[in-house]
Amino acid sequence: MSTIGRTIKNVLKAGPANSLKQMNNIGDTKWGAFIGADRFGNKYFENNDEISGRERWVEFDSVDPDGADIDPAWHMWMARIVQEPPTDMNIQSQKWWTEPTPNFTGTRSAFRTYSTTKAKVTAWDPVALPRQ
């Protein structure tokens, strides 16, 4: 979270409607220059006046955002692997850049581990003699 002064400054610069949307999605208010958008409709922004590590952010287009929704070329820019955004670079789409796989945690399709080895210890099953 940020200070009240920073939040008020960001609300005045970004506007109340955009600030409420940001508070709902990312829990903070931000404003900055629009850098570009990817093929999924996500919008990328940058503000170099922010604290280091918080100056680049993404506003997801989907209702249920996931980190895997970021395009690989934009991920390089967000992670600071490259300094120039993909809009300034000539990046060719790679064959392994497929549609993102959604996160199945908490659903029936979630990964579940299982053991293929036989248990080394078995549970004790008591034998009760009938009463006389």
Residues 6+ apart with CB under 8 A from 41: 61, 62
**Is position 74 within any domain?**
yes
**Is position 22 within any domain?**
no
**Is position 96 within any domain?**
yes
**Is position 10 within any domain?**
no
**Is position 36 within any domain?**
yes
From 20, 24, 30, 28, select the one nearest 1 (Cα to Cα): 28
Q: If pLDDT is split at 50, 70 and 90, which confidence band does 1 have?
A: low
Whether residue 99 has pLDDT greater than 80: no
Return the pLDDT at 44: 93
Residue 36 in 3-state DSSP?
strand
Percent of the chain with pLDDT over 70: 98
Please give the tally of structural domains in the chain: 1
Mean pLDDT of 121-128: 84
**Is position 23 within any domain?**
no
- For residue 100, what are the domain limits? 32-121
DSSP H helix total and E strand total for the chain: 3, 3
The three-point CA angle 20-26-28 to 5° equals 65
Summarised one tens digit per residue, pLDDT across range 24-80 is 777 788 888 899 998 889 999 998 888 888 889 888 888 778 888 888 889 889 999
Return the pLDDT at 63: 79
**Is position 5 within any domain?**
no
**Is position 68 within any domain?**
yes
